[in-house]
Structure formats: C-alpha cells, structure tokens
Chains A and B, each alone.
Chain A
Amino acid sequence: MIAGAPLALRADTKPILIAAGFVLVILAVGTAYTLATQGAATLLSPAYLIQQLQTGAFLGLVAAGMMLVILIGHIDLSVAWTLAAAAMTATAVGGPLALPAGLAVGVAVGLLNGIGVAYLRVPSMIFTLGVNAVLRGLMVAQTGGFAPQTAATDAMRFLGAERIAGMPVAVLVWAAVSLLTAGLLSRTAFGKALYGMGNSEAAAYLSGIRTRRVTILAFVLCSVLASLAGVMLAGYSTKAYQGMGDAYVLPAIAAVVIGGTHILGGRGRYLGTVVGVILIVLLNSVLSIMQMPEAGRQVIYGGVIIAMLLVYGRGAPTRS
C-alpha cells in the first residue's frame, strides 16, 4: 500500500479501470436499447445522468462509511436500521434540531458497534446484526410499526431533494464526503492505520497504533454516514418509513467490493467505491428501463458481481 510502489498501485488501479469500463458498457447497451425502442439516446442526456447521481448519492454515502469498516477487516450490517432510525428520529424531533438529532443517532450506534467489536471482541458480523435487530425493535416499538406521520424538515428537504444551479444538493454532499474520505484514507495517520489493521491487526498494534480507538472511530464514521444518508433520504421522500435502509446494505457492500476493496480488508482505493456505486445504480436503472422482471434483475446482479470478481478479485492460491 505504499505510494510509489508501482506494482501495488497497478494492482489497486486495475479493478477501478475495469469497473469504469463496465459502466461505459452498461451505458452503451442501454443506449442501444433506447435507440432501438424509442429512437432517442435518453441515457446520455444530462438530466438522466444527474438523476442517476441523485439516486446514487444515498448509496454512495452508505458505501463510503462501509468501506472504512471493510478496510479494517470488519463489516457493519447495522447500517440498514441506523439509516432508518436516524431518519425517524430526525423527523420526530423536527425543527432546527432534526439534523443534529439524526446524526447523534449515528454517533451512538457507531460507539456501541465499535465498543462491541473492539473491546468485547464479538465478531462484527454478528454484533452489528444484533444491534440492527435492537434498533429495528426500538423503532417498531416507537412508531407502532407504521411510517411515522411527522414530515421531514425544510433543512432535510434541502439536503435531500433540492438543487443548486441544476445540481442536486445530495450529489454535492456526496462529493464533499467523497473528497474528505479520499483525503482521510490517503493523507492521514488514521487512514494508514485502517490499511495497516486490515493487513494485520497484531502488527498494527505492535507498531503502536491504538487499534481499539481506530476501530471505534471507523464504526462511528460508518454509522454517521449511514445516518446522514437516512436524514437526506427522508428529506428526498418527504418522510421516514419502515425498512427504508434495507435496500442499502448489500448493494453498499457490493459497491465497495466491485470497486476493488478486498472484503477481508487492507486493500482498496476510495475512487473504486465511487465507481462501484455508479455501476450498481446504472445497472439497476438500465435494467428497469429495459423492463426486466425482478427475477432477471437478481440473476444479472449476482452474475455481474461474480464476473467482475472473476476478472480482478481472485485471491492467491493456497501455498504454505
């Protein structure tokens, strides 16, 4: 992972280039379809592409947080209900405190996850699963199992749905978060610690990295980004609803992995995650334009992940 080692850089960049190439393939296939059926290249219009970025912004925020956790070799399955709980809390609190309240949910959940994983050393997969169940239980008990009646505040609507000079605010937020995350990963000690811990937690610990703190911070950042996505998504759809985060967990993991980040941690570049998000959003959109039934979508979705990983995600064969 040392910058300047050309071999390591090439290995990191190849997946991103291939994924970006596949994005172009999806656009080409979709355009060919619309040209044949409607006689217009709808997919290449700025309006369509900006709409895709708007849709992708929420997934992009969740995936950015998920990547931090995956880099240290963990996973956060609680983002689904962290997202929903933040949205529900924000709409329930309302007023100027809505946004801080929503993000505070993220901080609390992230601290809980981080402590469970770093101090209790429960495997993250199962601990975050339990936290997800508890959050879901809390929200169901709180809301009675229905979509809350309270509406998103103006600030949330601004972040989620409005546009500045034709560009959705959500996309601008995603861009800002992306710049910060990329900088965090490549230019700070914290970023280097994430890569180090993903490669060998014991070695990182012996090198003086405070592994527990790094783990907790990674989980907090992941949950805060998920709660930000939740607050903005509630603004986009004017209110919070049950299960609003369920559609974001596995696509977020898939986007991170398609972008070349190793699922067991230690390797991957942030740019890849952005490309992965765009790939998944475009794939979904093109398949729905082609009126592919849900069954076919699932098969293609799974097939694409396997195919991409077969090209560049293969592990080394077992030797010694």
Chain B
Amino acid sequence: MADAALSTAPRAARGGTLALRLRQNAGLLGAIGLFVLFYGVYNLYHPRGFSQQVLIQNANEVFTIALVAMAQTVPVILGGLDLSVGAVMTLVNCLASHLVAGGPGEIGLGILACLAAGTAFGFLNGCVVVYGRIQPIIATLATGAIAIGLALFLRPKPGGKLDADLSWAMTNSLGDFAETYGLFGDGSGGGQAPWFQPIAGIPVPLVLLVLVAVGVWMPFRRTLTGRTVYAVGSAEGAAFMSGLPIARAKLAAFTMAGFFAGVGGLFLAIQTSTGNADIPQAGAYTLNSIAAVVIGGTSLLGGTGGAVASVIGALVLRAISFNFRIFDIPPLMQPLVEGLVLLAAVSLGALRALRTRNRLELFR
C-alpha cells in the first residue's frame, strides 16, 4: 500500500481516481468523521459553543497529545513502535522548567536547548535501534526508563517557573500574542494592524500545530529519507535491495519522533508553567499516542499512514473526553466510556478481516 508514496510515476498516471484515493484513506476519513461528530456535538451543547474562548481552551488541551501522536507515527510507519515518546516529552518538559526563563536571549536559547534535547534523545533511540540492532519496541522501553530517570533528576518534585509573558502569549490567540510582544502594531498598540484583524482570533497552539505539520513533517515525507521510511515499513528487504538508505531512514524516523515529543513537552511546560516528572502521565501519553495513531488510520504493521492523520486521531480522543464535561457523565464512569469508545474505534479496522475471502491474506 505504500507503493503510492514510493512511485516515481507522474501523479496522473498513478491511477489517482477519486474512488481509489478515498479507499486508500478510508481510515483517515473515518477519523475526520468521528472528530466532526464528537466536536460538533460538544460545541452544539456547550453553553458557549463555537466561540473563540472554547476553541482556545481546546487547542491548548489538544496540542501536547497531538505532538506526541505525531512523534509516535514516524516509528510506526517504519514498522516499529516508540514506547519512549511520553518519557521524552516528560524529560523535555522538566528541562524547559529550568531553562525557559529570564531575558529574551535566555528564553530563546532555552527553547532551542529543549528542542535540541528532545531531538538528541530521539537520535539516541535511533542509534540503539540501527547500530545496536535491538527491536525498537524493547529498545525504546529501556530508553524510556532512562528518559524518565533523567526527568526525575531534573525535577524530583513538580515545580519551576516559566516566563509568564511567554506562557500567556503561547496559550492564547494570535492577537494576544502580538499584543504581548508589540508586533503588527498600528501605533496604538500591538496586534492592531488592520490586515491582522481577520486572523487575530486564531489560537496560537493551533498555528503552531499547523506550522510543525506543514513546516517539518510534510517536507520530510517528500524527501528520499522520508519515502524510505515508508518503504522500510512496507518491505525492508525490498527497500534494501533497491539501494535505499535504510539506516539513515531509521535514524531520521526516531530523531523526528524525539523532536516532535520535545515540542510537545516544551509546550506542556509553557502551558502549565511547571515541570513535572510524572511517570503515570508519561505512560498515559505513550499509550494514548498509540491509540491516536491507530484511530488516525495508520497501520501498526507499518508502511502506511501519516502524522497529520495521527493528529486527527488525537483530536478524536480529546473530543470524546470534552463531551464528558457537557453530558455530566459521572467521573467514575468516564474511564469505562473512554475504554469502550477506544475499543470500538480500533475494532472498526476488523471490517477488513471479516471481508477477506482467503485467510492467507490476513497473515503478514
């Protein structure tokens, strides 16, 4: 199924009829449908539904899990799993609580250091997998423990303080961002320029999410390395025989995962203004990231899917829990409902198994 991503034939010759493309992206379309349904219902019944405040609040709640889900996607496309994404997110979160404060220069350097730390840890994962030749799932289980240990060194107890202006600017609308830093002004204050008004209401986290997806992920998947990631997930032996750079693709996939998880951790620190080496929380992020990837339509067998689809998956997961607030589901029932919805969502993929005529097709 990853052939489409690899094919060098021109777009039109790929047989890119609408029906085929729809069929290829059935999982993603289903996820989008679920999100529209859950989020639409939520907004319809919310007393202040479809308002800017609700959107900003939700964008903040969604950002970190969306980034961790993106992080999980790249190793999954490769045919592996990264059980350390939640831990790396937590590690960067704790690091940020030490570094992102002080003058503008210090804050800038701190942010860069945090992103570099996440990326470096991802690269380390890649080295263990490529040069150590250890299965990704078990290698990242171990490096995840190391990341949590380092996070606990940095923050034995929750705490720290991030720059308050930055926290405010990053977790509100573009207008608030511009006002805080005096950008796009018209003389009377930041963010007042006429051309800026139409987009001033967009939440900053949403803009960041799009920036990361469009600025990092989309260019990456079009490179030779990015396509090799898909090829390895589809058939590693064939990719090797075709002379594709397998080692580079694996290193890049885990490095990307570290980078995305790092961005998520940095934002969580900015949002909560603290660092917290919370082991259960790290585990929950990792497991939810796998769920988000699957709901987004990416196969755990590798070779298909994409990070944007996983973002949709993460949105679905969060939109489901938003509804709990609206419909007064007793807190004690919430884990059960969440579990049932998750189970139902992943079992939708079973339709493929039930349709197959020859059982041999199922073994892969």
Point out residues on A near B: beta carbons under 8 Å.
77, 116, 119-123, 125-127, 129-138, 140-141, 144-145, 200-202, 205-206, 246, 250, 253-254, 257, 262-264, 293-303, 305-306, 309-310, 313-320
Contact = CB atoms under 8 A, between A and B. Distances in A.
Interface residues of B, number: 58
Question: Nearest 4 A-B pairs (CB), nearest first?
Answer: A137-B336, A133-B339, A298-B149, A302-B145
Interface string B319-356: 00000000000001111111110110011011011100
B305 interface: no
A192 B129 CA distance: 30
Contacts of A131: 339, 343
B107 interface: no
A298 B147 CA distance: 8
B79 to A, nearest CB: 11
A254 B140 CA distance: 12
Given A119-B353, A141-B333, A313-B134, A299 B145 contact: yes
22 contacts: A120-B347, A120-B350, A121-B352, A122-B346, A123-B294, A134-B336, A135-B339, A137-B336, A141-B333, A145-B332, A254-B141, A294-B152, A295-B149, A298-B152, A299-B145, A300-B149, A301-B145, A305-B138, A306-B134, A306-B143, A314-B134, A317-B133
Given A137-B338, A137-B340, A301-B142, 17 more contacts: A122-B347, A130-B343, A131-B343, A137-B333, A141-B336, A246-B280, A257-B138, A295-B150, A295-B156, A298-B152, A300-B149, A302-B145, A306-B128, A306-B139, A309-B132, A310-B132, A320-B241
Contacts of B195: none
B287 interface: yes
Contacts of B137: 263
Contacts of B134: 306, 309-310, 313-315
Contacts of B144: 302
Nearest to A138: B336
Contact of A295 (B153, B291, B332): B153
B290 A320 contact: no
B163 interface: no
Chain A binding surface, main DSSP class: helix
Contacts of B342: 129-130, 133
Nearest to B144: A302
Contacts of B109: none
Contacts of B237: 318, 320
Interface in B280-310: 280, 287, 290-291, 294, 300-301
Contacts of B353: 119-121
B132 A306 contact: yes
B327 to A, nearest CB: 16
B149 A137 contact: no
Interface in B92-110: none
Contacts of A296: 149, 153
B289 to A, nearest CB: 11
A314 B129 CA distance: 9
A303 B144 CA distance: 10
B335 A263 contact: no
A303 B132 CA distance: 13
B290 A298 contact: no
A141 B333 CA distance: 5
B199 interface: no
B145 A121 contact: no
Contact of A134 (B156, B301, B343, B349): B343
B69 interface: no
A298 B277 CA distance: 12
